[in-house]
């Protein structure tokens, strides 16, 4: 038996740790907890940290390094070890954490339960360091896959997540708690990390944030949208430096206890009740796709060049 409490942090490989730390703080409202040439730890709110930045020497390997998940109070690290052994999934034991790789090689760390230093909600706490515009938390990650059944089986049987919704064979959303998803998979015939997502409270905060991103030279690869699946209102900021998107969202659906997965039709309304599906560049991270998206070429009728 394994039970995840929550997503704890994401670690990204970056070309320059100090520069990336400055970017994520200025642009997304994160706060530096610790920074050195070897590592930066950035927080959304009062938590220890949600984003870890590590140096990446190989330019072709920048971006996702691992995602860390905290175990529930009732699930010890030893219980997690016993579970992985029982389901015969290989893991690396680092004493104070467990490392597993999913079916397409994406690393996940399992951390023991850690009591919050102060259990009051953020609005009832005091700070001398957090900025006015900031996310309240890291909410989920999403990756592209070439093998949806195998990936879904890993996240359910090995990590103990529950399926919130299916979009036929094209998408699976998984949850560890009441929010609609903490993990999502999209089948596009190849594996790539797609996005990490920060929760920004409400639509007004997103307006300030997207204006800020635009003034820092960012654009939204898709959005603002209202997802049918997940209910979140969001925009996806293209990060060219790390090859990924940062989703900035609000108003995620809260699932009832014992939620039963729904199967959604693969139509425009499931993806965006407000309007269009994403440009095809949204699923790609190569230079041609980024350039096309930057200049809005697909919307102007110029098709995306094929991906080789
Ligand atoms: Fe997302």
On average, the pLDDT of the chain sits at 97
Residue 95 Cα to ligand 1 midpoint, Å, equals 32
Q: Are 20 and 14 in contact (CB under 8 A)?
A: yes
pLDDT of residue 223: 96
> What is the set of domains in the chain, with CATH numbers?
4-116+135-277 (3.10.180.10)
Q: Around 31, how many Cα atoms within 13 Å sit in the side-chain half-sphere?
A: 19
Q: Write down the pLDDT at residue 6.
A: 98
Q: How far is the CA of 272 from the centre of ligand 1 (A)?
A: 12
d(C-alpha 35, C-alpha 18), whole Å: 7
N-to-C CA span, the chain: 42
Q: How far is the CA of 128 from the centre of ligand 1 (A)?
A: 31
pLDDT at 268: 92
- Give the position of tokens 């898709």: 222
For 59-103, the pLDDT digits (tens) are 999 999 999 999 999 999 999 999 999 999 999 999 999 999 999
At 308 the pLDDT is 77
Average pLDDT over residues 204-222: 98
Please give the pLDDT value at position 244.
Answer: 98
- What percent of the chain stands above pLDDT 90? 98
- CA 280 – ligand 1 centroid, Å: 16
Ligand 1 centroid – CA 60 distance (Å):
24
Q: How far is the CA of 195 from the centre of ligand 1 (A)?
A: 7
pLDDT reported for residue 37: 94
Q: CB burial class (10 A; 0-12, 13-18, 19+) of residue 276? A: exposed
Give the per-residue pLDDT at 245.
Answer: 98
pLDDT of 134:
98
Query: pTM for the full model?
Result: 0.97
Residue 307 above 90 pLDDT? no
Ligand 1: centre distance to CA 36 (Å): 30
Confidence tier at 111 by pLDDT (50, 70, 90)? very high
Ligand 1 ion: nearby residues, β-carbon < 5 Å: 142, 197, 247
What are the residues whose beta carbons fall under 8 Å from the beta carbon of 166, sequence distance 6 or more?
172, 173, 261, 262, 263, 264
Assign 136 a pLDDT band (cuts: 50, 70, 90): very high
pLDDT digits (tens, 9 = 90+) for 260-305: 999 999 999 999 999 999 999 999 999 999 999 999 999 999 999 9
Averaged pLDDT, 160-175 = 97
Buried b / exposed e along 71-97 (16+ C-beta atoms within 10 A): bbeebebeebeebbeeeeeebeeeeee
Task: Give me the residue label for tokens 């006015």.
Answer: 132
247: CA distance to ligand 1 center in Å? 6
Please give the distance, rounded to the nearest whole angstrom, from the Cα atom of residue 86 to the centre of ligand 1: 31
Q: What is the pLDDT of residue 89?
A: 98
In whole angstroms, what is the distance from residue 108 CA to residue 65 CA?
Answer: 9
Residue 101 has what pLDDT? 98
Q: Is the pLDDT of residue 240 over 90?
A: yes
Order the strands of the 107-111 sheet from edge to edge.
31-36, 39-43, 51-55, 4-14, 63-71, 107-111, 98-101, 92-93
Q: How much distance in Å is there from the Cα of 69 to the middle of ligand 1?
A: 17
pLDDT exceeds 90 at position 227: yes
């Amino acid at each position: 038996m394994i039970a995840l409490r929550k997503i704890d942090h994401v670690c990204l490989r970056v070309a320059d740790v100090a520069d990336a730390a400055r970017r994520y703080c200025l642009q997304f409202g994160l706060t530096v907890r610790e920074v050195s040439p070897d590592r930066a730890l950035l927080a959304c709110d009062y938590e220890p940290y949600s984003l870890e930045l590590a140096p990446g020497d190989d330019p072709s390997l920048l971006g996702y390094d691992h995602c860390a998940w905290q175990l529930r109070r009732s699930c010890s690290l030893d219980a997690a070890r016993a579970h992985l052994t029982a389901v015969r999934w290989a893991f690396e034991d680092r004493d104070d954490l467990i490392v597993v790789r999913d079916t397409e090689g994406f690393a996940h760390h399992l951390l023991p339960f850690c009591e919050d230093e102060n259990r009051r909600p953020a609005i009832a706490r005091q700070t001398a360091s957090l900025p006015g515009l900031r996310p309240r938390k890291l909410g989920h990650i999403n990756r592209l896959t070439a093998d949806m059944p195998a990936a879904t089986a890993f996240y359910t049987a090995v990590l103990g997540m529950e399926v919130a919704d299916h979009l036929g064979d094209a998408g699976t959303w998984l949850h560890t708690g009441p929010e609609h998803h903490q993990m999502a998979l999209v089948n596009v015939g190849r594996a790539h990390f797609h996005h990490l997502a920060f929760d920004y409270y409400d639509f007004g905060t997103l307006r300030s944030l997207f204006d800020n991103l635009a003034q820092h030279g960012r654009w939204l690869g898709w959005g603002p949208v209202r997802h049918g699946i997940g209910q979140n209102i969001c925009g996806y900021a293209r990060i060219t430096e790390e090859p990924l998107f940062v989703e900035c969202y609000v108003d995620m659906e809260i699932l009832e206890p014992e939620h039963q997965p729904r199967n959604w039709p693969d139509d425009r309304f499931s993806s965006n009740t407000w309007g269009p599906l994403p440009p095809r560049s949204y699923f790609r991270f190569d230079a041609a796709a980024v350039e096309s998206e930057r200049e809005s070429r697909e919307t102007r009728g110029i098709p995306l060049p094929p991906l080789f």
